[in-house]
Amino acid sequence: MRIWKFADNIDTDQIIPAEYLTTGDAKKLAANAFAKVRPEFSKEVKEGDIIVSGENFGCGSSREHAPRALLGAGISCVIAKSFARIFFRNSINIGLQLLEADVFDRIEERDEIEINFEDGVIMNHTKKEDYKFKPLPEFMQKLLESGGLIPYIKMQNSHLR
């Protein structure tokens, strides 16, 4: 797992530039994720990698393509001081794990971290530090565990068939 750091105000056009919005396929979107700000990202990102960012991650347009590109790239979680509201909801709805924590200045790209979502703790094994965060509400955690809103609804309604 690798940490990818991005500063404040990373907008959806930086995550997936507009000219690559010709598909909704997560893997195809991932091939162009951060193409203009970190061209190496799509070639070097691995399944389970984590993004650490500052404030207002996912600002800009309300397109669902941005979190879908991150899922397609294998990103397991985005940690940011804050998220744009629509990006936050889109991410939860499609199953991308997010957590709000002010750790941008404490976690480096080379650090090995582990996240306990239930207890609200990020363990930085490299620096031997722990950082607390407020866990998502139980309902949102269930959505994420189900893979997003649509799989959650299907699971909830499976007894109606």
The tens digit of pLDDT for each residue in 117-126 reads 989 999 999 9
Give the chain's domains with CATH numbers. 3-160 (3.20.19.10)
Average pLDDT, the chain: 93
Residues in the chain: 161
DSSP H helical ranges for the chain: 12-15, 26-30, 41-44, 65-73, 85-94, 138-146, 149-157
% of residues, the chain, pLDDT over 70: 98
User: Position 68: which residue type?
Assistant: R
The tens digit of pLDDT for each residue in 58-85 reads 999 888 999 999 999 999 999 999 999 9
The tens digit of pLDDT for each residue in 8-50 reads 999 999 999 999 999 999 999 999 999 999 999 999 999 999 9
